[in-house]
Amino acid sequence: MENAAATDHHVLIARDAAVVTLTFNRPEARNAMTWDMYQRLFDACEEVDADDTIRVLVLKGAGGKAFVAGTDIAQFIEFKSGEDGLRYEREAERYLSRIARVSKPVIAQIQGFAVGGGLGIAAGADVRIATPDARFGVPIARTLGNCLSMPVYARFIDLLGASRLKEMMLSARLLAADEALAAGFIHQIVAADKIEAHVRELAQRIATHAPITMRVTKESVRRIQEARALPDGDDLVAATYGSDDFREGVRAFLEKRTPRWTGK
């Protein structure tokens, strides 16, 4: 991995010694993820794992207003059935779980919104540092009317707790940084003018630690968490993405109006 920005201008990758920083770079869209951006994230995880001289991966968003504000909703307009939703959730899980499987420590530097897919990306990191204005959530009950996959629900339950996750999603509200800190989702709150230097120092310090110990610790925790058998949820995902409400949610979002839910 070269010490330069990636050719894809929506995902920038830079290296400083043993630390690689990946920047989601669509500030005009609050860094909402396109399919190509998800794939570049996946590829970057592969590249980090393949290079033994890389010790830490940092994820951040450009512009200071958002880490990642979900998936680009315009891409959902092409969905016609529940099968489209199943394919999307399976692909999303492939990308999100890859972050958690990176063998090197991953730090999420979070400024502004980390919602929807952005919350999922942050959840895959090992350490999450946020600014006081950071906001976290999955407000899909108010916006799109879609759902998550079983593995993503399980990951959020691990990090937030079942009770808090249900309340957050049913009310479609965003958690403030201090609430996310109290929940244990983020590890520190750092002022916006200091977070860059703070994360850089943290990453450089972690990069000096024993790589085998860190890799084994990460993999041990992952195996313990994934040892449980999750119930199949394909019927729930297909029913949600195949619903009239989901199609209405996407149209309403793109038309900047309130959805008219029917429960069908």
pLDDT number for residue 4: 42
237 falls within a domain = no
Q: Which residues contact 133 (CB under 8 A, 6 or more apart)?
A: 111, 112, 177, 192
pLDDT number for residue 183: 95
46 falls within a domain = yes
Domain total for the chain? 1
Residue 53: CB atoms within 10 A of its CB come to: 8
Residue ranges for the chain with pLDDT beneath 50: 2-7
pLDDT number for residue 174: 97
Domain that holds residue 144: 11-194
- CATH code of the domain covering residue 187: 3.90.226.10
pLDDT number for residue 1: 53
Q: Any bridge partners for residue 19, and if so which?
A: 16, 56
190 falls within a domain = yes
118 falls within a domain = yes
186 falls within a domain = yes
Give the C-alpha separation, 185 to 137, whole Å. Answer: 11
Q: State whether residue 130 is helix, strand or coil.
A: strand
139 falls within a domain = yes
pLDDT, tens digit (0-9, with 9 covering 90-100), for 163-195:
999 999 999 999 999 999 999 999 999 999 999
Give the C-alpha separation, 70 to 88, whole Å. Answer: 13
136 falls within a domain = yes
52 falls within a domain = yes
